[in-house]
Amino acid sequence: MRGFFTYLVNHNILLNNCALGLQSPKIDKALPKILDYNHIELLVKPRSQTTLELRDIAIIEVIYSCGLRVSELVGLNTNSIDLTEGFVEVIGKGSKMRHTPLGKAAQKAITSYLQKSGVTQDALFLNNKGQRIGVRAIELMIKKRAIEVGIKVSVHPHMLRHAAATHFLQSSHNLRAVQDFLGHKSIKSTQVYTHLDFLELSKVYDKCHPRAKKSI
């Protein structure tokens, strides 16, 4: 509307632009889709002991355990992982380095993968050609695996990151810790997870509180 009235003024159809004071509508930011914990368990349930199967499980465990972006995951080297101390050295956006804890399940998955694969080069996760795995290959692997285990929504790697952040916040209620965990520069980027946490609280309230629903 502002542009239209500006056009009318510029073409001498109107003397003044009466739409200059109009404010643009605020569009709600879409909440990220997340996976339930039982979905995570389905994704990491081993179906064989092949190198590729152990690699895929380790990839999913690390993304979920550390809340990594898939671009951060593919950049991991063997020396990025400290299995003794239980942490990962991550190169995030803007080449900013952070250290994030590595859970016991992820440590176990990486150990099994490394023992089976015998990886000796820099890259931690390799494709079937022995080269550093790419982002697209991980996206396709996770999507295919989700379909195979019966998950009804379209799953992509970032949903694992969202799930990790949401589950972490639900347990800790510490937004600053989640910000550091995800490597967010601004707390505003992390605050979206407070909305997800509130939605989960609302579900539990509706289900459990005796006065949640009005009697008819």
In this structure, the chain runs to a length of: 216
**Helix, coil or strand: residue 66:** helix
d(CA 91, CA 202): 36
Which range of 16-25, 82-91, 113-122, 130-139 scores highest in mean pLDDT? It is 130-139
From residue 97, how far is each of 59, 73, 76, 80, 110 by CA, in Å? 20, 13, 12, 11, 21
- pLDDT for 36 equals 86
Across the chain, mean pLDDT equals: 84
Check: CATH 1.10.443.10 for 37-199? yes
- pLDDT for 209 equals 57
Tens digit of each residue's pLDDT (9 = 90 or more) over 129-161: 989 999 999 999 999 999 999 998 899 998 998
Is the separation of the CB atoms in 162 and 40 below 8 Å?
no
- pLDDT for 201 equals 47
d(CA 16, CA 5): 8
Which residues are known catalytic residues?
69, 93, 158, 161, 184, 193
d(CA 44, CA 105): 10
Tens digit of each residue's pLDDT (9 = 90 or more) over 9-47: 899 988 888 888 888 777 665 555 678 889 999 999 999
Q: Which of 62-71, 95-104, 177-186 is predicted least confidently?
A: 177-186
d(CA 51, CA 53): 5
- pLDDT for 48 equals 94
- pLDDT for 175 equals 72
Q: Is the dihedral of CA 193, 195, 199, 201 positive or negative?
A: positive
Residues 117-125: contacts with CB under 8 Å, at least 24 apart: 117/51, 117/54, 117/55, 119/78, 121/78, 122/77, 122/78, 122/79, 123/76, 123/77, 123/78, 124/76, 124/77, 124/78, 124/80, 124/81, 125/55, 125/58, 125/59, 125/73, 125/74, 125/76
Helix (H) or strand (E) run with residue 100 in it: strand 97-101
